Amino acid sequence: MSRHRLETVCLLAPALAFLLLLFVVPLARLFSLAFTDEGGAFATFAILAESEVYRRVMVNTLIVAVAVTLITVVLAWPVAYALSRLKGFWFALALYGVLFPFWISVLVRTFSWMILLERNGPINRLLQGIGVTDQPLALLFNDTGVMIGMVHVLLPYAIMPLYAAMVRIDRRLLLASDGLGAGLFDTFRRVYFPLALPGLLGGATFVFLLSLGFFITPALLGGANAITLSMLIASFVTDRLAWSLAAAGSLVLLVVVLVLLGLAARLLPLDKGMLAR
Amino acid sequence: MNLAAASRSGLSLRFEGAAKNYGDVAALKPTDLTVSASEFLTLLGPSGSGKTTLLNLAAGYLEPSAGRIFIGEREVTHVPARRRNIGMVFQNYALFPHMSVGENVAYGLKVRRVERAEVARRVEAALRLVQLDGFGHRAIQQLSGGQQQRVALARALVIEPDVLLMDEPLGALDKQLRRSVQLELRRLHEEHQRTTIYVTHDQEEALVLSDRIAVMRDGRIEQLGTASDLYDRPVNAFVAGFIGESNLLPARVTAIEGDRAQADVDALCHSVTAAAAPGLQAGKEAALLIRPEHVLLGAAPGIAAEIVELVYLGELTALNLRLPGGATLWARQITGHDLRRGTQVSIGWRHDNARIVPA
Amino acid sequence: MTRQPLWLRILAHAGAGLVLAFLVLPIAAVLPASVNKASFIILPPTAYSMRWYGEFFLDGEWRSALLTSLQVAVVATIVAVVLGTISAIGLSRVRGRWHGVLTGLFLAPMIVPVIVTAVAIYRSALDVGLAGTVLGLGLSHAILALPFVVINVGIALRAVDPNWLRAAAGLGAGPWTIFRTVTLLNITPGLVGGAVFSFITSFDEVVIAVFMAGYAGKTLPVKIWEAIRIEYTPVVAVAATLMILLAMLLFAGAQGLSRGQTMLKKTEKPQT
């Protein structure tokens, strides 16, 4: 081994050993528990698949993730667009608005929503005050609350890639489209949207994957009928000490995330957006 | 479209006092300009001279601060680009990166809701016109710069625009390629006679391509005319310097008689009579213009000069000559004379080859 | 230059403004809740008082939770910065297929859902007796923080011209001197950014901490977590406000340090 390579290995070794010992091995040990149930190697997965309750949890997790992704993408669009057009002070202000929430603990942000969405909280009183509703709405401890909280946390993850795609779109392409006789809608549909699409899909994938594994927000804002897979895994460990089920659930979650990530990496036309100079 | 027959040769384009200001800065001073139907007109000038602003006003990408714009007899001053039926070729082509060559060319037809079979037919014809037949399915990124330029041209031409606008379309090509595309553009224009406005800062390109050239500076047209108008009869020192090689010697006008003027030229240590540019005033600063090819060696009587530099150009040799007053002149000679640095020569010129122009 | 209709521009910017308000304003809700006089949370407060701040600082449990959090964050930051920096340098010297594999491995803690990481680490920590200790929690948080350091230092390293290193070597400097005088000096902004991210990541982390904390090692977020689910008094709002203040302080500090640098993008994965 050359001296240069030896040095490189020495530089990488401590962190690799650290990751191996404290991350990879614990994960492997956990996953091995999934196959050590008394009922047989795949008994845990059978339980997860056959139980009506667990199936509902999986479906609910997916529904929440899909809904959160759709809402997030729709809300991200105007912000990313404004960011791509603003200059100077207003640009900085908007960018800080997007990045600032990143720095605030998800727990604290979720707690804020608990205060705001309460049955007698300010939002319900506002809605009653302006006559939207007579009765206070149930905004907390159900899927509505979970989605509001998750959208709030995940929005910046959708905004940033979308903004990056939009800011790369050459303004001359829009001028060219205009000159060739296209109306606003045609220019949007045939030029602007396809060029922003890679950023949109990238952000959506990111948001969807994060939603699948979300824990804090659903645990605090969700109710008994709004259980997600991550809450189920936690309750296997803390309430039932059912380690093999927790391990099986974790493995399912991780495999789903990795498969989707692999698909996204393969299918997303990420290079096309970058060529739009 | 009924217009198709009429627009085959394009429509005229007219600016009436068109101006564009950005705050206090006048990008274009009030300008009158008429481009006749089928004409190839070039806007020539350094960057910041207002030529691109004028082009964008024609395209509808900018609205004028004052004045009016007509395409044919239709006023388009406040009509957006998409309703002007113009063909625009951008400096970096602005080809849609997510579409194939064929889709790029078809774009203007699709948004006009032209029928599918008709689109295919016209796209094919347009690609044949720019000698890219068979390239329809290629991705834009697979094409060379020259090919991309031709796709941009096909995309602009396929909609049969009333006016074709080109913004330094050859700027990104290397010199060899530029020459052949220039000839190609001229061939296309001779065949199809489409009204064209062409923006460039390259005087050679302007000379090769244009019916008329508008030389621009500081947001206004300094001179508008044919290539030989500009070369033989420049209205001022700027135009003389911008078109072709030139020797410009500072002069002061002493008298004007008809189309001739007399001026003191310090560099020559005596007074000179030469053709006068319009707008010359006695007592004002001016310049004596002599093109290098008009400087004669061995003239008698002549002005004594010393050869200080020889530049071999192939067929011709450029000579840098120092005059007694210290100023220098460039001259051109057929290569082969036994010329050496340091040789004393006597130089002169024919009177009708010298011109006095405002500085 | 395109003429976009005014209504469209107004619509787009108004929409953006509303969404940004939705992003930023709710975070502020805990502030009025914390200066509430009543013994339950009500917004807007009917009477104001600092009494809950007093409760927070007089209560030994809250104080020790804050202290534990700071200790854990310091351990996590030191471990993540030291390991992350040397591995970023090592990674910058690797080319080809191995570069992708190693990068994937270093970023894996960002990809694996935190709940999975938390359960896995908790299980192994139970087995070796590290659960409930500051060291155990600090090391766990270092795993989550490591990717940020590797990314930030990696980006900073790309700005270090290899010719500078050759120049320094040509002038007679040894490897350690070159590192100290050329490399380290130039990657300082990335290093500081990575350190700040590491600290805040650990300080805010709940999921692993909830499992690992036990009775002894409760961090501030764990205490908040429990308080939300059990007591739900305005003391929680006080703790939340303090966490926001600390985050803003770090945010401002990082911005100040990275002025002129482009370290704005904290692409952190939320604790989920």
Q: Is the model's pLDDT at C267 over the cut of 70?
A: no
What is the residue whose two structure tokens read 């939705």?
A: C22
In a domain, B92, yes or no: yes
Closest approach of chain C CAs to the CA of A17, in angstroms? 10
Residue of A nearest to C122 (CA): A26
Average pLDDT over residues A176-186: 91
Using the 3D structure, point to which of B202, B232, B262 is the last residue of a domain. Answer: B232
- The pLDDT tens digits for B229-258 are 999 999 999 999 888 888 998 888 888 888
Q: Is the model's pLDDT at C270 over the cut of 70?
A: no
pLDDT band at B152 (very low <50, low <70, confident <90, very high): very high
Q: Is the model's pLDDT at A269 over the cut of 60?
A: no
**Do C1 and B61 count as a contact with CB atoms less than 8 A apart?**
yes
Which residue in C272, C26, C197, C107 sits closest to A157, CA to CA?
A: C272
Q: Between residues B202 and A267, which one has the greater pLDDT? A: B202
β-strand B247-257 against B285-290: which pairing, if any?
Answer: antiparallel
Q: Is the model's pLDDT at A81 over the cut of 90?
A: yes
- The pLDDT tens digits for B268-317 are 877 888 888 888 888 888 899 999 989 888 777 788 888 998 888 888 88
**Cα three-residue angle A56-A61-A64, rounded to 5 degrees:** 120
- Chain B positions touching C1 (Cβ under 8 A) are 56, 61-62
Residue C262 is predicted with a pLDDT of 43
| B206 and B102 within one domain | yes
Residue C129 is predicted with a pLDDT of 82
Q: Which homologous superfamily is C52-257 in?
A: MetI-like (1.10.3720.10)
Lowest pLDDT segment from A43-57, B150-164, C104-118: A43-57
> Domain count of chain B?
2
Closest approach of chain C CAs to the CA of A258, in angstroms? 8
**Do B62 and C2 count as a contact with CB atoms less than 8 A apart?**
no
Domain locations in chain C as residue ranges: 52-257
pLDDT band at A1 (very low <50, low <70, confident <90, very high): low
- Chain A positions touching B108 (Cβ under 8 A) are 180-182
| B263 and B218 within one domain | no
Average pLDDT over residues C87-114: 89
Which residue in B279, B303, B278, B275 sits closest to B290, CA to CA?
A: B275
CATH number for the domain that contains residue B352? 2.40.50.140
Residue A275 is predicted with a pLDDT of 33
| B258 and B171 within one domain | no
Neighbours of chain C (3+ CB pairs under 8 A): A, B
Residue of B nearest to C2 (CA): B61
- Chain A positions touching C23 (Cβ under 8 A) are 97-98, 100-101, 152, 155-156
Q: Is the model's pLDDT at A271 over the cut of 50?
A: no
- The pLDDT tens digits for B8-22 are 568 999 999 999 999
Residue B6 is predicted with a pLDDT of 44
Residue of C nearest to A214 (CA): C272
Domain extent for B14:
3-232
Asked if A270 is an interface residue toward chain B (Cβ–Cβ < 8 A), one would say: no
pLDDT band at C1 (very low <50, low <70, confident <90, very high): very low
pLDDT band at B43 (very low <50, low <70, confident <90, very high): very high
ipTM above 0.85, yes or no: yes
- Chain B positions touching C3 (Cβ under 8 A) are 63, 80
Residue C269 is predicted with a pLDDT of 45
Q: How many Å from the N-terminal Cα to the C-terminal Cα in chain B? A: 51
| B189 and B289 within one domain | no
Helix, strand, or coil here: A2?
A: coil
**Cα three-residue angle A256-C99-C162, rounded to 5 degrees:** 145
β-strand B303-312 against B316-322: which pairing, if any?
Answer: antiparallel
pLDDT band at B161 (very low <50, low <70, confident <90, very high): very high
Q: Is the model's pLDDT at A88 over the cut of 70?
A: yes
| B189 and B253 within one domain | no
Q: Is the model's pLDDT at B114 over the cut of 90?
A: yes
Residue A40 is predicted with a pLDDT of 75
Domains of chain A and CATH, by start: 1-34 (no CATH), 42-275 (1.10.3720.10)
Residues 6+ apart with CB under 8 A from A146: A64, A217, A218, A221, A222, A226, A228
Tally B–C CB contacts below 8 A. Answer: 6
**Do B63 and C1 count as a contact with CB atoms less than 8 A apart?**
no
- Chain C positions touching A106 (Cβ under 8 A) are 204, 206, 270-272
Q: Is the model's pLDDT at B165 over the cut of 80?
A: yes
d(CA B198, CA B211): 11
DSSP element (H, E) containing C148: helix C134-158
Percent of all residues in chain B with a pLDDT value above 70, rounded to a whole number: 97
Q: What is the pTM of this model?
A: 0.83
Helix, strand, or coil here: C102?
A: helix
Residue C163 is predicted with a pLDDT of 83
CATH number for the domain that contains residue B161? 3.40.50.300
What does the mean pLDDT of chain A come to? 88
Q: Which two tokens stand for residue A116?
A: 């705001």
Using the 3D structure, point to which of B184, B203, B232 is the last residue of a domain. Answer: B232
What does the mean pLDDT of chain B come to? 89
Q: Is the model's pLDDT at C263 over the cut of 60?
A: no
Residue C261 is predicted with a pLDDT of 47
- The pLDDT tens digits for C121-179 are 999 988 888 888 888 999 999 999 999 999 989 988 888 888 888 888 888 777 788 88
Determine which of B111, B112, B158, B167 to mutate to test the interface with A (most A C-beta atoms within 10 Å): B111
Least CB–CB distance from B141: residue in A175, A182, A275: A275
Using the 3D structure, point to which of B200, B232, B264 is the last residue of a domain. Answer: B232
